[in-house]
Amino acid sequence: MFISNVLQAALFAPTALALAIHLSLDEATGKLVPRVDQPDGPWINEACFNPLTVNEGEKFYDCPKKIEQKESHWCPVETDNECESYCEQSLQWSYGREVPFDNSRCGEGSHCRLDEGMSVQVGQTTTFGLQIGHGAFTLGASFSWSESKTTSNSIVREKPADRLDDCGYWTFVPYMVTSCGITSKAAVHENILNSRWCADRVDKEECLTSVYQTKAGVAGGAAVFVATSCDDGDKRLGFCKQDAIYLKQGVSVDERVHLDWRDAWKDWDSANGVTTTAEYQCQQDNWPPA
C-alpha cells in the first residue's frame, strides 16, 4: 500500500489518533481514503427531500447534484477518487420491513401506550452491491451508506381507540430511501514516472436503498399498532383492524397480511377499495374466509 511521507509522519506523531479517526479502509480498493461519510452531514438535507413532503414512490429530481453527468449517460472519474464516481439522478422513498418495539406487547382492554423509553434497533435490509466503493458513492449521493444499526426512540403513541379491546404490539416501520443514478468505474493505470490515469471505464445505471435517517442520525419512520389474536400473538387480525401502513407490501413480517388485504380488493385493484362482503367478513373476524 502506498502511503505518502506526510501521512507516515502524521500516523506516528503524538496526534496520530486525531488524524486516524478521519480515515478508513475502503473495502472496494483496499486503500486509505478520507471518511467522506462522517464529518459533513451524512444524512439527506431534509429541506430538499423529506418523506413527509414527498409522495411515497414518487421519483424526486430536485436535490442539488453533487457530481454532474457528462453527455447524459456517464459520470466523470478521476485518479484522486480511484477512478470511481457516482452521479445521482433521483431519490424516492418507501416503507420498509417492520421492527417491533421491545416489550410493547399488550393484552385485551389495556391502554398499551408506546412510551418514550421504548426503542428499536433498525439495520439495513440490503447489501451495498454497487460496482463502486462506499466512499465514491457518498461523494455523489445525497446520503452516505452505513451498515451500522440506528436507534429510534422518544416516540409516544396512544393505543387506537377502536383497538382497545384487541391484543397486539407496537412496531416501527422505517422509511427507506432509494438513490438511483450512474456509477462509473475505470481501471487505475500508472507508469514508471508515477503518472496515473483512468482507462476502460464501465458505466452502469444502479440504485441503492438505505434506511432514511434524520439530521439527528436516527431512523425515520412510522410507529403503528398491530392488532393480533389474544390466543396467538403471532396471528394478525384482518385488514380492517390494521393500520393502513401495515397493509403495504413488504411491511409485515407475515406476508399474508398484505395478500389477504389484496384478496379483498374490488377487481383486484387497490384503487377500487375492498368489497362490501370482504369488509363485513373482516369485521366478523372471518377474513380471509376458510
Q: Where are the domains of the chain?
A: 1-35, 36-254, 261-290
Contact 83, 26 (CB under 8 A): no
In this structure, what are the phi and psi dihedrals at residue 16, rounded to the nearest 5 degrees? Answer: -60, -35
3-class state of residue 140 by DSSP? helix
pLDDT class of 182 with cuts at 50, 70, 90: very high
DSSP state letter for 266: G
DSSP state letter for 35: -
Grid cell listed for 130: 454497487
Looking at residue 195, what is its pLDDT? 82
Mean pLDDT is highest, among 49-53, 125-129, 224-228, for 224-228
The Cα 191–Cα 148 span in angstroms is 39
The Cα 119–Cα 27 span in angstroms is 31
Mean pLDDT of 254-277: 96
Identify any residues that bridge with 223 across adjacent strands, giving them in sequence order: 172
Q: How many CB atoms lie within 10 A of CB 282?
A: 21
Whether the pLDDT of residue 119 is over 70: the answer is yes
The Cα 64–Cα 87 span in angstroms is 11
Q: What is the dihedral of CA 112, 115, 118, 119, to 10 degrees?
A: 110
Give the rounded percent of residues in the chain with a pLDDT score beyond 70. Answer: 82
In this structure, what are the phi and psi dihedrals at residue 174, rounded to the nearest 5 degrees? Answer: -75, 150
Give me the chain's average pLDDT, please.
82
Model pTM above 0.85: no
Give the rounded percent of residues in the chain with a pLDDT score beyond 90. Answer: 51
Please enumerate in sequence order all residues whose Cβ is within 8 A of that of 67, keeping only pairs 6 or more positions apart, or say none: 75, 76, 85, 86, 87, 88, 139, 140
Identify any residues that bridge with 87 across adjacent strands, giving them in sequence order: 182
CA atoms in the 13 A half-sphere facing the CB of 33: 23
From first CA to last CA, the distance across the chain in angstroms is: 65
Phi-psi domain of 30 (left: phi exceeds 0; alpha: psi -120 through 50; beta: other): left
